[in-house]
Structure 1
Amino acid sequence: MTAVILGGGVSGLASAYYLVRNSSPFKRIILLEASDRLGGWIQTSRLDNGAIFEHGPRSLRPAGKGGKNTLSLATELGLSNDIIAVTRNHPSTKNRYIYMNKKLNRLAIGGGFKNTFYPQPPFSQSVFSMVIKELRAPVPDNDIEDESIHSFFSRRIGQEVADYLLDPVFRGIFAGDISKLSVKSCLPMDVLKIEKEYKSLMRGVIRRKEKDDDNEVYAMNDIMRATKERWSTWSFQKGMSQLSERLEDVIIRRGNVEIRKSTPCRGLEFDGDKVKVITDTESITADHVVSSIFSQDLSKLLGSPQEELSNLLNQITAVSCIVVNVEYKDYMSNIEGFGHLLPSSEDPCVLGVIYDSSTFKQHDAEKYVSSRYTMMLGGAWYDKLVDRLGDLKESTIQDYACKVLSEQLDIKTEPSNVVVTIQKNCIPQYFVGHSKLVESIDKCVSDNGLPLSLVGSSYKGVSVNDCINNAKLTLKQFDHGIKKVESPDAENIEKNSNV
């Protein structure tokens, strides 16, 4: 049997890995990647001076089932010794800022009398007042299937929290507009269900006990380390691309996976339980296709017999972002923290700034003191950014980003390195009704008996953890017993893995 995987991002690589790790029925697996590199939005640059720039995801969280699964994967791949972790007592964990009214406002993370009972900028109410308001907020009489993030938190806690906290936070995660983003699909828990059952979000979070229905088998070494050492985030010594590079290496060593870069799929033709995968040079007859590409790109590959599915897939949109990595040589900031985000009311075009050197000092230049930052621009306001800049020349973007950094962080020195990366359609937008749309897509695939599995950030989570875990869960249907992992560090994996 033959399986074809569309897309060589982390979802496609994870799909190939889980198919070859387990005893799947596919004796031949072909991964098609349109570009000349693997990793998708995971993209790391390693400069000659030793510095590392991340142009996409820059860290992973250990929390939740997805976090646990990615840590297990790191153990399986023999990457344990390459992990660099940030603990919960680190300044970058405790210090997070909202840039508003032309200044940095530190979020009051943690306890303390003043933080609880007195208003902290940029908010006019204290945390205590917000809690009381949420506990007393009425629950709608009618059942709400979904609503926007802004609507939900405005009615439960207040518009100020929605405008000055949730707005910048979700601009940092989805680069999107919370007046359109779904509270049901974008949050890790079903807050509408909690609200209905407990009459309060906070009361429900405290009282609610999650059912332990996680029957997965994990490699426990790094999971145990993360729990014991209280990790907040983590990455790798050589950057996030180390994960995709190791996945590629392990997959190739298995022998039954063909990775074809610079080979876009041009069309899919379904015929009963077979599917013809068309490229520029050949037509591959496959027993199953796993699509990890953006839903709208998949939509374009389907012929008229799948018009209904094509129309559904086309309804999921995505935003584009510009990522600007900046290094300042012989400069060390006195501001420690993860970074700062901006409410859309402050500046819609600038999403936020990550203080890379504060979080992962290990990625700084090797022979001199420096500070690295990453600025995120555009998202749902990409067109407005283009209008503001006038053009998208690299020099124009560099000048603009460095000017904004200088103003917001009071940096007087000139940058030593600047890298601009334009990421087109990089973050799918889960608008109100997204979960219903995904259900309709799944039903359409099932009702038509299509040998097709859908993974990737378009459907059930945009984070790296989500993409890897959803690929694993989706392809469990092909598990015929788990085999040992073969990798460059196989001996170490056998000793340390429970898989």
Structure 2
Amino acid sequence: MTTVAVLGGGIGGLAASYYLCKSPQVTKVIVLESSSRFGGWLSSTRRSDGAVFEHGPRGIRPAGAVGRNTLNMVDDLGLGGEILPVDYSHVASKNRYVYVNKQLHRMPSGISGLLRTVPPFSRPLLLNIAKEILVRKGKEDDESIHSFVSRRLGKELADIAVDSLCRGVFAGDCRKLSVRSCFPVLFNAEQRRGSLTLGMLLGSGPTPALPPGPLAQRSQTESWAQWSLRSGMQSFPESLSEFLQQSGRVQLHRDAGVQHITPAASGWKIALEDGVISADHIISAMPAKALSSILPPSCQSLSQLLQDISMVTVAVVNLEYEGSILPVTGFGHLIPSSENLGVLGVVYDSVPFPQHNRPEGHTTRLTVMMGGAWFQEVFGSPETVTDECLLARATEAVRSQLGVTSAPCWSWVALQKDCIPQYYMGHFRKVESMRHLIKENNLSLSLIGSSYDGVSVNDVIFSGRTAAEELIGAAV
């Protein structure tokens, strides 16, 4: 195997290239990114006065094998000194809110929070957990998240906490999203232990054996809940791009949109606007629908499956206010769909990462997330909605939900079109079928990225690693 083409220069494509270029079996890696920058949804604005604003993921969790894997990469890139950790004792980790019945409610945490009735819940959550052990195992091979949690922990928890959580993580509707694909740990706990509680206590299945490097060890010792970087999350793909450039084995191409791909005698011909590239293997880090549009007619069955993976659009509005304007301190608040369809949640960015505030003068930075699965219904077409409309809706949410009467001193509206895939029920079967078709038709193609095996930054990076290792292993 000599040449691998990686389609897509987001964090998944860059990660796959990173793992590939460490193998002597790969002679050349060609990264083709259709936009003018690398990093995908990891995007930060760094203002000249020192303030940093995130338009995509703002913090990464260090937990589990996938979390350790990312930190090992960060270590290797020499970014350890740039890390901004937030530990579990931090107020941003302990205080998370939901906005229900036009009021902010702190989510119960710790034993005391589980033992007593905490609004907006009508009884102590420990009762739900105690009863959960007695609930019978589901018989279906998949189930909606709402149905699964209602069945095991009660409808109230599903309607408020889980509905809000799914809006915050997936910008999606928990009544349609698959528990098996979105929360495999919960699904496996029930399947293997018959109970979520027992699954959490005893473990719910094998996890990849991944030794922690110095940074991952530090995260365990210091009990990190999440971390960011001093210059914003965008500095992660920037460092990765630089590393790849310096490796001498990776060619990075911006503004290189792929028109179509065609199977060749050995591998693929990749048609770009200004020429054709040959590759022995393709790793696609493109969204599923985008890949579907460039496949040849001979791959129609695969194209159809890829087309079936829906995406949602999220409006991310960054706001900065003079002074300290928050009525509560914490990570932020989420909003169940029963309360407000359009606004998914508000992150109090200045609380977990005050280092991103401008150094001079006290300010508060917030991010309002809107739309998701409800975008079209609330705002109309993403093509016609204006920044002014989105900004007005975001500032109104801050006024009504946080009681902030002053106007923001700075704002930024980012409309992230088709940014989060929706793993609807049966998603796992679609992904299995795709990979089966690829194998059956002997296509030298790997699928990575958020469309398939997890939407978090950690999941996407790990999917890049898995594909690279499978490819290198097959070439041995």
TM-score range, shorter chain: over 0.9
Residues 252-267 of structure 1 mapped to structure 2, 5 A cutoff: 252-267=245-260
Query: Which amino acid is 2:309 matched to?
Result: I
Distance 1:135 1:396, change over 3 A: same
1:409 CA drift (Å): 0.7
- Indicate the residue corresponding to 1:77 in structure 2: 77
Distance 1:201 1:209, change over 3 A: closer
Tell me the secondary structure at the aligned position of residue 178 of structure 1: coil
Q: 1:388-431: CA deviations, max 9, x gaps?
A: 99952212211221111111111122211100000011000001
Q: 1:181-231: CA deviations, max 9, x gaps?
A: 000000141x344324433221232233644651x455x110111011110
1:238 CA drift (Å): 0.3
Distance 1:390 1:441, change over 3 A: closer
CA contact (8 A) 1:273 1:450 kept: no
CA contact (8 A) 2:188 2:205 kept: no
Tell me the secondary structure at the aligned position of residue 357 of structure 1: coil
Measure, in 2, the Cα distance between the counterparts of 1:277 and 1:240. Answer: 31
- Indicate the residue corresponding to 1:321 in structure 2: 314
Residues 263-278 of structure 1 mapped to structure 2, 5 A cutoff: 263-278=256-271
Query: Which amino acid is 1:55 matched to?
Result: H
Unaligned runs of 5+ in 1: 481-499
Task: Note the aligned Cα RMSD (angstroms).
Answer: 1.8
Query: Which amino acid is 2:116 matched to?
Result: Y
Distance 1:198 1:4, change over 3 A: closer
Measure, in 1, the Cα distance between the counterparts of 2:60 and 2:447. Answer: 23
Residues 437-456 of structure 1 mapped to structure 2, 5 A cutoff: 437-456=430-449
Q: 1:1-25: CA deviations, max 9, x gaps?
A: 22111111000111111111232x3
- Indicate the residue corresponding to 1:19 in structure 2: 20
Tell me the secondary structure at the aligned position of residue 266 of structure 1: strand
Tell me the secondary structure at the aligned position of residue 92 of structure 1: helix
Distance 1:81 1:197, change over 3 A: closer
Residues 319-468 of structure 1 mapped to structure 2, 5 A cutoff: 319-387=312-380, 392-468=385-461
Unaligned runs of 5+ in 2: none
Measure, in 2, the Cα distance between the counterparts of 1:27 and 1:207. Answer: 44
Query: Which amino acid is 1:8 matched to?
Result: G
Q: Does 1:243 align with 2:236?
A: yes
- Indicate the residue corresponding to 1:483 in structure 2: none
- Indicate the residue corresponding to 1:138 in structure 2: 136
Measure, in 1, the Cα distance between the counterparts of 2:20 and 2:199. Answer: 38
Query: Which amino acid is 2:104 matched to?
Result: L
Total equivalences in the alignment: 473
Q: Does 1:200 align with 2:182?
A: no
- Indicate the residue corresponding to 1:5 in structure 2: 6
Query: Which amino acid is 1:376 matched to?
Result: M
- Indicate the residue corresponding to 1:496 in structure 2: none
Identity %: 38
- Indicate the residue corresponding to 2:106 in structure 1: 106
1:131 CA drift (Å): 1.6
1:335 CA drift (Å): 1.8
Tell me the secondary structure at the aligned position of residue 356 of structure 1: coil
Which of 267, 277, 297 aligns to 2:290? It is 297
Residues 305-316 of structure 1 mapped to structure 2, 5 A cutoff: 305-316=298-309
1:29 CA drift (Å): 1.6
Distance 1:408 1:334, change over 3 A: closer
Query: Which amino acid is 1:88 matched to?
Result: Y
Query: Which amino acid is 1:330 matched to?
Result: G
Measure, in 2, the Cα distance between the counterparts of 1:345 and 1:193. Answer: 29
Distance 1:157 1:244, change over 3 A: same
1:85 CA drift (Å): 0.2
Tell me the secondary structure at the aligned position of residue 319 of structure 2: strand
Measure, in 1, the Cα distance between the counterparts of 2:242 and 2:147. Answer: 46
CA contact (8 A) 2:260 2:295 kept: yes
Query: Which amino acid is 2:229 matched to?
Result: F
Tell me the secondary structure at the aligned position of residue 12 of structure 2: helix
Query: Which amino acid is 1:200 matched to?
Result: S
Measure, in 2, the Cα distance between the counterparts of 1:177 and 1:209. Answer: 25
CA contact (8 A) 1:287 1:451 kept: yes
Distance 1:212 1:199, change over 3 A: closer
Measure, in 2, the Cα distance between the counterparts of 1:240 and 1:389. Answer: 25
CA contact (8 A) 2:9 2:31 kept: yes
TM-score, scaled to structure 1: 0.92
- Indicate the residue corresponding to 1:57 in structure 2: 57
Distance 1:212 1:43, change over 3 A: closer
1:384 CA drift (Å): 1.6
Which of 173, 180, 184 aligns to 2:180? It is 184
Residues 16-55 of structure 1 mapped to structure 2, 5 A cutoff: 16-23=17-24, 25-55=25-55
Distance 1:328 1:389, change over 3 A: farther
Query: Which amino acid is 1:324 matched to?
Result: V
Distance 1:5 1:159, change over 3 A: same
Q: 1:236-260: CA deviations, max 9, x gaps?
A: 0001001000000000001121111
CA contact (8 A) 1:144 1:192 kept: no
TM-score, scaled to structure 2: 0.96
